[in-house]
């Protein structure tokens, strides 16, 4: 006896496959399944090695800003507080830059390269909140000196 492929249609004529009949070179033309595109790259997210230095700098800066203001550290208090505020601001900017790089946006602002325009009310709200926070920080540090 020869070893070779079996013709199952001769042995079981009732068996029909969903893919259709096979020809010697593959499936029939009418049974071609449409291709499905799948994204092979993983979703872009902030990794722990990106977040750790940002969180550490923000915590260090906020502690440097808060302790001299809360406990009156002598003549160097305002200087340490302003340095802490600077480090906190740098950490916040670094975090926003890293988030934008992976595709995150602020509410009301379009993604980079998008055709829509930013919502001017949200931009105004962001500017107002930042201005109030900076004014309060400078006012508090100025009162120490």
Tens digits of per-residue pLDDT, 8-67? 555 555 545 445 556 667 655 666 667 877 777 767 777 888 788 888 888 888 888 788
- Residue 125, pLDDT score: 95
Between 18 and 4, the higher pLDDT residue: 4
Helix axes 77-101, 48-71, angle to 10 degrees: 160
Cα dihedral 59, 65, 71, 74 in deg (nearest 10): 130
CB of 20 closer than 8 Å to CB of 31: yes
Over 90: is that where the pLDDT of 129 sits? yes
pLDDT category, 122, cuts 50, 70, 90?
Answer: very high
| Integer Cα distance of 104 and 117 in angstroms | 16
| Integer Cα distance of 117 and 120 in angstroms | 9
The model's pTM is 0.53
| Integer Cα distance of 44 and 104 in angstroms | 9
Over 90: is that where the pLDDT of 131 sits? yes
- Residue 123, pLDDT score: 92
Tens digits of per-residue pLDDT, 74-91? 777 777 878 888 888 889
**Mean pLDDT across the stretch 63-73?**
75
Tokens for 20, please give them. Answer: 């259709």
| Integer Cα distance of 99 and 92 in angstroms | 11
């Amino acid at each position: 006896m020869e070893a070779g492929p079996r013709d199952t249609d001769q042995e079981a004529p009732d068996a029909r496959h969903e893919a259709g009949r096979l020809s010697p070179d593959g499936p029939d033309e009418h049974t071609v399944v449409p291709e499905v595109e799948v994204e092979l790259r993983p979703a872009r997210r902030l990794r722990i090695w990106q977040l750790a230095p940002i969180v550490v700098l923000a915590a260090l800066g906020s502690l440097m800003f808060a302790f001299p203001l809360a406990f009156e550290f002598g003549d160097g208090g305002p200087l340490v507080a302003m340095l802490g505020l600077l480090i906190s601001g740098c950490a916040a900017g670094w975090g926003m830059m890293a988030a934008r790089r992976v595709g995150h946006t602020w509410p009301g602002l379009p993604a980079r390269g998008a055709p829509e325009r930013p919502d001017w009310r949200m931009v105004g709200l962001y500017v107002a909140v930042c201005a109030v926070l900076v004014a309060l920080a400078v006012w508090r540090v100025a009162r120490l000196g």
